[in-house]
Amino acid sequence: MIEKQLSLFLDNKPGVLAEVCKTLAEQGINIRGLSVSDTVDHSMVRMIVSDPDKALHILGEHNTFVVEDDVLAVELSDKPGALGQIAQEFARGKVNISYAYGTSDGPNALIFIRVDDPKKGEQVLSGAKPKKKVRR
């Protein structure tokens, strides 16, 4: 499934991410996926939230620079080789992976994957074997 991802550029100092999380929580917005990486002066925070439109509005009101992108939410078996199989399917379909992040807890994993063409990526995965599926 194609999901909206919010990429936030935050000051890389204590308490900044905590304030963003608190603000979203106060508005009833759940963070479903999160990736944080740092640069010299800023942190790049990528998140999947329960209400991206509302979050985008709220973050804008707080003068947070946010970019919205489409990513694929892919549920797959939590076993060795499952992600490699997905990557091979993308390679066969000529879909490039820019980055990915995710987690597993139990028999399945949930991975958020940024590809160069999300619609084509979704089509590639729709022909995947039954053990993995595009999350709906």
Non-local (6+) Cβ contacts of 44 within 8 A are: 7, 8, 9, 36, 37, 38
Task: Tell me the average confidence (pLDDT) per consecutive run of 10 residues in the chain, 136 residues long.
Answer: 96 94 97 91 94 96 94 94 94 96 91 96 77 52
Q: What is the value of pTM for the model shown?
A: 0.85
Q: Which domains does the chain have, with CATH numbers?
A: 2-70 (3.30.2130.10), 71-126 (3.30.70.260)
Q: Is 104 within 8 Å of 70 (Cβ atoms)?
A: no
Amino acid in position 17? L
Please tell me the chain's helix, strand, coil percentages from 3-state DSSP, rounded to the nearest 5: 30, 40, 30
